[in-house]
Structure 1
Amino acid sequence: MATLNQWIEGARPRTLPAAVSPVLVGTGAAYETGHVVWAYAILALAVSVLLQIGVNYANDYSDGIRGTDAVRVGPVRLVGQQLAAPRTVKFAAFTCFFFAGLLGLALVGLSELWVMVPIGAAAIAAAWYYTGGSRPYGYLGLGEAFVFVFFGLVATLGTMATMTPLTAAGWWGAIGVGSLASAILVANNLRDIPTDREHRKLTLAVRMGERGTRAFYVGLVAISFVMAVLASFTSPLALLAVLAAPLLVRPMRAVLGGAEGRGLIPALAGTGIFQLAWSALFALGLGLGHHLF
């Protein structure tokens, strides 16, 4: 039976910046317009975090029963390492999805943004079918695209839209967040290329190979800087986001230095920290802009 610490590690806390970041940017963009609703922001944060934990447990379950996680570098695998029964991990995943859906419905009801009901349902379906079902799209190289859409565009713009109409700065921020969320997944899949290839898990990293994947990672990170510059044309202080750049030294050294296996763990963790810092500074810049411009 898995311990509490193993359940926490199995939730993969290093990936949680990908859940917090879009809510920060969406809330900052709403604050810039003067129409922020803090209760809605808190609900959006709870929904995003629950979805992220849910997808992590769902991946643990689905990869575990397929044998993909039997020998893997990285965080605890509850099913793959036989620390918890598969049905228990599956139940944990669907419990997270249930409460994410419940809180999401509360947010939709309060904000009257009914269009988010089918979009939210699609987000939950995407969370499960990433590695679940008979033809998981994560095994077809589509993971990064779905992460960009749901943990970038949908989470960021959905948070903002519950409070105020969308702005150009909100769109640029959403693209930046999505590119960094995808970069986290790229770093993870780069580390797992050997085992994924062995189990015919055709992630984008497996399809592109190590060299292409490392270049792709750099490109995704670069997009976040481009988005900060574009946002600065309407919200000058969005450029504060570039101050997070020093946090990239360690992950870039790992990715560009040819690190493999455990050597890429700092890239995964460091990219998440950079994403969180970039998003917080971007949101701060938008918020300050409301008072100064």
Structure 2
Amino acid sequence: MTATEAETPEMSRARAWLIATRPQTMPAAAAPVIVGVGLAYSAGVFSLGPAVAALVGAALIQIGTNLANDYYDAVKGVDSEERQGFTRVTNSGLIPAEQVKRGMILTFAAAILVGTYLVYVGGLPILVIGLASIVSGYAYAGGPFPLGSHGLGDLFVFVFFGVIAVVGTFYVQAAAVLADPLAMTIPEGTVTTTALLASLPIAGISTNILVVNNIRDLETDREAGKLSLAVLLGYRWSRVEFTGLLALAYAVPLYFFATGEFGGAILLPFLSLPYAALLARTVLTRTDGDALNPALERTGKLLAGFAVLFALGMVI
């Protein structure tokens, strides 16, 4: 649903809250867990409980970040009637601002609750990572120095929804198998070079969801004084960023195959390459919401498909 569509007074409160969570961004929460589980299975350290908790925690942090963005962009005047993106429930009046803020707080609190189990499994490192993820999710749009308004949103997504999410998912499973509970340091075998490399495709495509979003909103963000990285770089270099992150995603499976770390099945993500090429053509040639709103959703679908194929390649 886009901001240009007329809102109906009959819209249910449940529907409004569903819009607020931005379900089109949920692949960014699930994809790193899928890859982390595939990697853990291939390494012989798969553990169901920590894997499920990592998925729930990631989804809650994603939703909390979305609610924070919705609320703070509205109260700070970043959102406007000219915005071409998906409906923002605070700005459109579908949900009162204070309720959106309360939902954000409760969602992050639920993430902390889930995180207590992961801290028991993974110890102090998970406590540090979990708190940093929640603080950064809030600071993306809120606080005295909102990351998304100072050109740091892309870096935030790359690090927290890519590198840390994949490596953290692998870590809690490996820690459950290889280490005692409540570890104070990083146990041996729980953070590997392979996990770090495997996180890069997910980091790249997850960041591209934000790149598409920010290319679409470049003009309205500039007028509102929001300095997203797209505003700082402009259309040309934002598209270079998008293309470079896609190239990074497909380079990693190729590297794993070339080094012999995995067999030919690790190249399964290349089945998604034609879809990625069609998506890139849209991003490289269009700036309007009519084209980039579907492109944003398709980037999420590319992320989900790539993650499943990548994980399957590791397991096979």
User: Cα deviations across residues 129-185 of structure 1 (Å, max 9, x unaligned)?
Assistant: 111012211110000101111001111100101122233332222011111111110
Whether the aligned pair in 2 keeps the contact of 1:172 and 1:228 (CA below 8 Å) is no
| Alpha carbons 1:74, 1:262 under 8 Å: kept | no
- Residue 258 of structure 1 and its aligned partner are, at CA, apart by 2.7
Query: Which residue matches 1:179?
Result: 204
Displacement of 1:108: 1.9
Per the alignment, residue 177 of structure 2 pairs with: none
State the partner residue of 1:48.
58
Matched residue SS, 2:91: coil
Which of 225, 236, 252 is residue 211 of structure 1 equivalent to? 236
SS class of match (2:92): coil
Q: Distance in 1 between matches of 2:122 and 2:247?
A: 36
Structure 1 equivalent of residue 218 of structure 2: 193
Give 1:98-109 correspondences, 5 Å limit.
98-109=109-120
1:239 corresponds to: 267
Q: How does 1:49-198 map to 2 (within 5 A)?
A: 49-71=59-81, 72-109=83-120, 111-164=121-174, 165-198=190-223
Structure 1 pair 250/7, CA: closer, same or farther in 2 (3 Å)? farther
CA distance in 2, matches of 1:262, 1:77: 17
TM-score (norm 2): 0.88
Within 2, Cα distance between the matches of 1:246 and 1:94?
Answer: 40
Q: Describe the superposition over 1:197-226 as per-residue Cα deviations: whole angstroms up to 9, x where unpaired.
A: 000100000011111111211111111001
Distance 2:277 2:150 in 1: 31
Distance apart, 1:261 and its partner CA: 2.5
1:80-129: CA deviation from partner (whole Å, max 9, x where unpaired): 112211110011111111111110111221x2332110111011000001
Q: Contact 2:19 / 2:89 at 8 angstroms: preserved in 1?
A: no
Alpha-carbon distance change, 11 to 46 in structure 1, aligned in 2, over 3 angstroms: same
The one-letter code sitting in structure 2 at the alignment partner of 1:201 is: K
* Alpha-carbon distance, 1:48 to partner: 0.3
Q: Which moved more, 1:275-284 or 1:227-236?
A: 227-236
The answer to whether 1:15 aligns with 2:25 is yes
Count of residue correspondences: 287
Q: Distance in 1 between matches of 2:31 and 2:213?
A: 18
Moved more, 235-244 or 38-47: 235-244
Q: Secondary structure at the match of 2:90?
A: coil
User: 1:3 Cα deviation (Å)?
Assistant: 2.4
Aligned sequence identity (%): 37
* Offset at residue 257 of structure 1 (A): 2.1
Q: Distance in 1 between matches of 2:292 and 2:68?
A: 23
Q: Which residue of 1 aligns with 2:281?
A: 253
Secondary structure in 2 aligned to 1:73? coil
Specify which of 241, 247, 252 is matched with residue 222 of structure 1. Answer: 247
* AA at the equivalent of 1:287: V
Work out the CA distance in 2 between the residues paired with 1:239 and 1:24: 16
Alignment check: 8 A CA contact 1:29 1:167 kept: no
- Residues 238 and 282 in structure 1, CA contact (< 8 A), matched pair in contact too: yes
Q: Distance in 2 between matches of 1:144 and 1:78?
A: 23
C-alpha contact 2:30 2:59 (8 A) present in aligned 1: yes
- Write the distance in 2 (CA, Å) between the matches of 1:166 and 1:235: 18
Kept after mapping to 1: 8 A contact 2:215/2:287: no
What is the CA–CA distance in structure 2 between the aligned matches of 1:16 and 1:98, rounded to whole Å? 19
User: Taking structure 1 as the reference length, what is the TM-score of the superposition?
Assistant: 0.94
* Maintained 8 Å contact 2:118/2:126: no
Q: Distance in 1 between matches of 2:283 and 2:53?
A: 35
What does the per-residue CA deviation read over 1:13-39, in whole Å, with 9 as the maximum and x for residues that have no partner?
Answer: 111101000001111110001110011
Cα RMSD, aligned residues only: 1.4
**Contact 2:140–2:153 (Cα < 8 Å) also in 1:** yes
Counterpart Cα distance in 1 of 2:312 and 2:194? 12
Q: Aligned with 2:89: secondary structure?
A: coil
Structure 1 residues 170 and 141, CA gap change in structure 2 (3 angstroms): same
Does structure 2 conserve the Cα–Cα contact (< 8 Å) formed by 1:228 and 1:241?
Answer: yes
